[in-house]
């Protein structure tokens, strides 16, 4: 747990990305969205779940990662998957 303090958005994003990698063992996370509801940050993270020899065929998971205002990772949920070559 982190001490009670005001965290910067870049720190919240880093906590979300690092936590997701540690919990899923997937790699190459990218934050693609962030918003705040009450005291909970929702960071949308795209991460490589199934790499392919052809990079455009990688399977990417899109996750909602929740972090509180103190920097504690509260949870995550995969909200969808896509191939890297597919448009959003």
Fold of the 9-83 domain = Nuclear Transport Factor 2; Chain: A, (3.10.450)
- What does the pLDDT average to over 56-66? 94
Torsion angles phi and psi, residue 26, rounded to 5: -85, 175
pTM flag (> 0.95)? no
Q: In whole angstroms, what is the distance from residue 2 CA to residue 34 CA?
A: 20
| Residue 59 CB partners (closer than 8 Å, separation 6+) | 48, 49, 50, 52, 81, 82, 83, 84
Element counts in the chain: helices (H) and strands (E): 1, 4
Domain boundaries, the chain: 9-83
pLDDT digits (tens, 9 = 90+) for 23-54: 999 999 999 999 999 999 999 999 999 988 88
pLDDT for residue 80 is more than 60 = yes
């Amino acid at each position: 747990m982190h001490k009670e303090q005001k965290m910067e958005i870049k720190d919240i994003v880093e906590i979300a990305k690092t936590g997701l990698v540690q919990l899923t063992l997937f790699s190459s996370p990218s934050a693609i969205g962030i918003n705040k509801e009450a005291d909970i940050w929702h960071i949308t993270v795209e991460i490589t779940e199934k790499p392919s020899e052809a990079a455009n065929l990688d399977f990417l998971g899109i996750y909602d990662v929740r972090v509180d205002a103190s920097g504690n990772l509260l949870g995550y949920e995969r909200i969808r998957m896509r191939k890297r070559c597919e448009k959003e």
